Amino acid sequence: MQDPNPKPIQKTAFWAKIAWIATLTWAGGLELYGVVNKDKDDTLSETTRWIWRTDTPAGKWAFRIFWVAFAAWFGPHIAKIERTKK
């Protein structure tokens, strides 16, 4: 349920949102350029594989562990799911 009386966005929060939107837009443009130009090793996927060295068994496992841990945190964080403390 949405808050019937939402708080106004503070100035710093407003500029932080603008910065995040600009960053994600820039990154999306960079990814689109990488996909369209067909050059090797310039997309997010290719760079992620290079960083994590997923061509090795250890790199594959390291990335998998990171991804599961990140998803376990990020999903509830964005959905604002709070655990109750006993």
10-47 confidence digits (pLDDT tens): 777 888 999 999 999 999 999 999 999 989 999 999 99
Sign of torsion over alpha carbons 36, 40, 41, 45: positive
Return the structure tokens found at 56: 């090795």
Residues 6+ apart with CB under 8 A from 37: none
Q: CA-to-CA distance for 54 and 14, rounded, in angstroms?
A: 38
37-72 confidence digits (pLDDT tens): 989 999 999 999 999 999 999 999 999 999 999 999
* Helix 57-79 × helix 44-52 angle, to 10°: 120
Return the structure tokens found at 82: 């709070």
| 81 — pLDDT class (breaks 50, 70, 90) | confident
